[in-house]
Amino acid sequence: MDFSLTEEQQAIANLADKILRDRCTLERLKAVEQSDDGFDTELWSSFAKAGLLGVAVPQSLGGGGAGFIEVCLLLQQQGRHVALLPLLPTLVGAMVLARFGHDDQQRRYLPAVCNGEALLTAALVELGTDERTPTTMASPDGSGWRLNGTKTAVPWAHRAQGIIVPARTVDGSPLVFLVPNDSRGMHLERQQTTNWEPHFRMTLDHVAVPEEALIGVPDNGVEVLHWLVDRYTVGLCAIASGACERALKITAEYASNRKQFDKPIAMFQAVGQRMADAYIDNEAVHLTMWQAASRLAEEIPSDKEVATAKYWAAEGGSRIGHASLHIHGGISIDVDYPIHRYFLWLKQMEFTLGAATPQLVRLGRLLAGDDESLQPGATPWR
């Protein structure tokens, strides 16, 4: 498979890299991380002015008209610079609205996303279940719906104008709603994360939403939810890919320059073997992510590829993070030293993507042709 980039795609990646190199300095990162809001308004505005926030929004709505590959290129750059930005939920959320949203949703949110005025996020995580099988209930209420349930680890919910909320009906059929963050009955509680990204516990207590809040139609709720989860998952893998690549580069430079017994520690067999293993992991994270992303961009069935990319980003990323810290030695525990931040980001990706066993069980079922894990109400790791 050819993963070569077009000139336009390379230009998008280069532009994002330049903005982040110029504006995402260590001092700025620390200031943003320690702020109550956790949001870099100036950096976000720079992305908007460069036309990067609307990269996958149709041109008719003010965007660039590109696709998922371009989104992953931006997310990979975010991972390389470990920049606290709501790129993933906003870009993927915009793609969902562009693909399934009705005209009013698109006109209200997508031009505002392009110019940086609106953020989107997705409330995908619930304790004790898979993202594809939400337990949040959607009950008919006149011409609309009532939502009840609890979501956890909802990124940037305090800043998002629209929150994508999967739920299920009494018969277990999934539906996906776009809910304003100021909806009556919605309560947000700040949560602490490993990499300081703002996450929230979101409680929905009889939140009333109109019929127009539904993304798509009732009959295609499964399609909308799986489409969203697949792209959100691979987007996380793209961030992990960028963080892995930069962590490995920083570690290789350190091992080449750090000397013991008058020679670089990279010359020691144990260090060389550890770096070789990390290199193999990095290639696996990189290639499986792009394989899944390229298939999703072409709307090709990608269940196995997404599961494979998810496994490698979590497990391979974790091993790279630990190897980077171990090779750096004691200096790696300094929270101001760059490699420590990459370790925290890779651990955050691992926690978000999930442990290895559930991924391998689901992948095994997919390879065996068992579609049980893809059906509403199924618990894929049991």
pLDDT for 39-75, tens place per residue?
999 999 999 999 999 999 999 999 999 999 999 999 9
Model pLDDT, residue 377? 41
Place of tokens 């776009």: 178
Model pLDDT, residue 370? 65
pLDDT band for position 22 (cuts 50, 70, 90): very high
Asked if pLDDT for residue 382 goes beyond 70, the answer is no
Q: Per-domain residue ranges for the chain?
A: 7-117, 122-219, 221-374
* Residues 12, 17, 20, 22, Cα dihedral to 10°: -110
Model pLDDT, residue 120? 98
Place of tokens 């629209």: 162
Helices (H) and strands (E) in the chain, counts: 11, 9
Say yes or no: do domains 7-117 and 122-219 share a fold: no
Mean pLDDT, rounded, for 94-100: 98
pLDDT for 320-347, tens place per residue?
999 999 999 988 888 888 899 999 999 9
Average pLDDT, the chain: 93
Place of tokens 């996020």: 121
Task: Give every CB contact of residue 340 below 8 A, 6+ residues apart in sequence.
Answer: 325, 332, 333, 334
Task: Look up the pTM and report it.
Answer: 0.94
Model pLDDT, residue 2? 65
pLDDT band for position 267 (cuts 50, 70, 90): confident
More confident: 381 or 79? 79
Model pLDDT, residue 83? 96
Asked if pLDDT for residue 213 goes beyond 90, the answer is yes
CATH number of 221-374: 1.20.140.10
Tell me the C-alpha distance between 49 and 209, whole Å: 33
Model pLDDT, residue 335? 80
Helix (H) or strand (E) run with residue 204 in it: strand 199-209
Model pLDDT, residue 371? 55
Place of tokens 């004790």: 128
Asked if pLDDT for residue 188 goes beyond 80, the answer is yes
pLDDT band for position 363 (cuts 50, 70, 90): confident
Asked if pLDDT for residue 376 goes beyond 50, the answer is no
Model pLDDT, residue 4? 84
pLDDT for 129-162, tens place per residue?
889 999 999 999 998 999 999 999 999 999 999 9
Asked if pLDDT for residue 381 goes beyond 80, the answer is no
Helix (H) or strand (E) run with residue 220 in it: none
Model pLDDT, residue 373? 44
Asked if pLDDT for residue 1 goes beyond 70, the answer is no
Model pLDDT, residue 3? 66
Burial 128-162 (b: 16+ CB within 10 A, else e): eebbbbbbbebeeeeebbbbbbebbbbbbbbbbbb
pLDDT band for position 375 (cuts 50, 70, 90): very low
Model pLDDT, residue 369? 83
Helix (H) or strand (E) run with residue 259 in it: strand 259-260
Model pLDDT, residue 379? 40
Tell me the C-alpha distance between 38 and 59, whole Å: 31
CA distances from 225 to 39, 137, 269, 337, 371 (A): 28, 15, 48, 39, 16
Task: Give every CB contact of residue 226 below 8 A, 6+ residues apart in sequence.
Answer: 132, 374
Model pLDDT, residue 362? 83
pLDDT for 214-249, tens place per residue?
999 989 999 999 999 999 999 999 999 999 999 999
Model pLDDT, residue 380? 40
Query: Do the Cβ atoms of 212 and 139 come closer than 8 Å?
Result: no
CATH number of 7-117: 1.10.540.10
Please state, as a whole number, how many other Cβ atoms lie within 10 Å of the Cβ of residue 57.
Answer: 25
pLDDT band for position 354 (cuts 50, 70, 90): confident
Please state, as a whole number, how many other Cβ atoms lie within 10 Å of the Cβ of residue 71.
Answer: 27
Asked if pLDDT for residue 183 goes beyond 90, the answer is yes
Lowest mean pLDDT among 95-99, 264-268, 301-305, 323-327: 264-268
Query: Do the Cβ atoms of 353 and 307 come closer than 8 Å?
Result: no
Class of domain 122-219: mainly beta
Count how many Cα atoms sit within 13 Å of the Cα of residue 74 in the half-sphere of its side chain: 26
Asked if pLDDT for residue 93 goes beyond 80, the answer is yes
Please state, as a whole number, how many other Cβ atoms lie within 10 Å of the Cβ of residue 208.
Answer: 15
Mean pLDDT, rounded, for 300-304: 93
Model pLDDT, residue 32? 92
